């Protein structure tokens, strides 16, 4: 299990594709170069100005080192103004412990289900004993994550605190969940997501010199 960030960005109207192009061209390899594992990147199907993505780290100490290296390094410094210009809010971040998640190449939509349990340990047990087998019969849960409560080791980037969540991903469009009202503080949130196709920007030919 690794440390995972589930990040939801709210962007200026019409700016999502601009950010995605910049992200895929510069920020994937830029983060990987300092040891960050960049997971799935997604368009939110219900919110045209929302970009959702994941990244992971071996532990919290490595997270601090890698984020320091990236955000004070040349790639972010060169492109941060262009990236920040697309964003209204980038602080909706869940810090989790789990395997991370990347949709397979050519995958259709996926759903991220976010639950806020009344009792985190009890709901985790209920999930494994009852909910996972029930979901497996229809839409098997993939990449299950729970809240990581360690102190934020890179406070320049806020994360959501004071809440427990259990998050999992499923392939395909959203499917009805069983009644979980006795286990949860609120109705589960389901994010319907379209994976951003991975592109090899480095394989694109350089423009010819004039």
201 domain residue, yes or no: no
Query: Is 209 within the bounds of a domain?
Result: no
Is 108 a domain residue?
yes
- The residue range of the domain holding 50 is 2-196
The CA distance from 53 to 58, in Å, is 18
Model confidence pLDDT, tens digit, residues 20-54: 999 999 999 999 999 999 999 999 999 999 999 99
pLDDT one digit per residue (tens) for the chain, 210 residues? 899 999 999 999 999 999 999 999 999 999 999 999 999 999 999 999 999 999 999 999 999 999 999 999 999 999 999 999 999 999 999 999 999 999 877 779 999 999 999 999 999 999 999 999 998 877 889 999 999 999 999 999 999 999 999 999 999 887 789 999 999 999 999 999 999 987 644 434 333 333
Task: Give the integer Cα–Cα distance in Å for 131 and 192.
Answer: 20
Could you tell me if residue 47 is inside a domain?
Answer: yes
Q: Distance (Å, rounded) from C-alpha 3 to C-alpha 142?
A: 16
In a domain, 82, yes or no: yes
pTM value?
0.92
**205 occurs within a structural domain:** no
**Rounded to whole angstroms, how far apart are CA atoms 161 and 85?**
26
Per the structure block, which two tokens stand in for 56?
């992971």
Number of domains observed in the structure of the chain: 1
Round to whole Å and give the CA distance between 97 and 169.
Answer: 14
Give per-residue pLDDT as tens, 154-165. 999 999 999 999
Domain with residue 111: its CATH number is 3.30.70.100
- Separation of CA 55 from chain center: 6
Domain membership flag for residue 204? no
Residue 206 domain-assigned?
A: no
């Amino acid at each position: 299990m690794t440390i995972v960030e589930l990040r939801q960005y709210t962007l200026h109207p019409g700016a999502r594709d601009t950010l995605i192009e910049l992200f895929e061209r510069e920020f994937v390899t830029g983060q990987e170069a300092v040891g960050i594992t960049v997971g799935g990147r997604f368009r939110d199907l219900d919110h045209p100005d929302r970009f959702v993505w994941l990244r992971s780290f071996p532990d919290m100490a490595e997270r601090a080192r890698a984020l320091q290296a990236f955000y004070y390094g040349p790639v972010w410094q060169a492109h941060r103004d262009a990236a920040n210009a697309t964003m209204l809010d980038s602080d909706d971040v869940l810090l989790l412990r789990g395997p991370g998640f990347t949709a397979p190449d050519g995958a259709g939509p996926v759903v991220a289900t976010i639950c806020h349990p009344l009792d985190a340990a009890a709901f985790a047990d209920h999930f494994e004993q009852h909910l996972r087998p029930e979901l497996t019969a229809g839409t098997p849960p993939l990449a299950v994550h729970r809240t990581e409560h360690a102190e934020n080791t890179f406070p320049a980037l806020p994360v959501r605190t004071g809440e427990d969540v259990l998050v999992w991903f499923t392939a395909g469009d959203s499917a009805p969940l069983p009644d979980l009202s006795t286990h949860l503080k609120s109705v589960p949130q389901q994010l319907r997501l379209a994976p951003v196709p991975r592109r090899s920007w480095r394989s694109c030919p350089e423009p010819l010199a004039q």
